[in-house]
Amino acid sequence: MQFAGNFFDLIPPYALLAGVSTFLLFTLHGALYLSLKTEGEMLNKVQNAAKKIGVVTVLVVVVFAVMTFFETDLFASMVATIALLLCAVALILANVMLRSGKSGKAFVSSALTIVFLTASIFAGLFPRVMVSSLRPDWSLTIYNASSSPYTLKIMTIVALTLVPIVLAYQAWSYWVFRKRVTEKDLRY
Question: Tens digits of per-residue pLDDT, 27-52?
Answer: 999 999 999 999 888 899 999 999 99
Question: Tens digits of per-residue pLDDT, 61-78?
Answer: 999 999 998 888 888 899
Q: Name, in order, each residue with C-beta under 8 angstroms of 152's C-beta and a sequence gap of 6 or more.
A: 146
Mean of the per-residue pLDDT values of the chain: 91
∠ CA(122), CA(126), CA(128), 5° rounding?
A: 105
Q: Where are the domains positioned within the chain?
A: 7-146, 147-188
pTM for the model: 0.83
Domain 7-146 in CATH 1.20.120: yes
**Which stretches within 100-148 are classed as H helix?**
103-125
Distance linking the first and last C-alpha atoms of the chain? 54
Query: What pLDDT does residue 64 have?
Result: 93
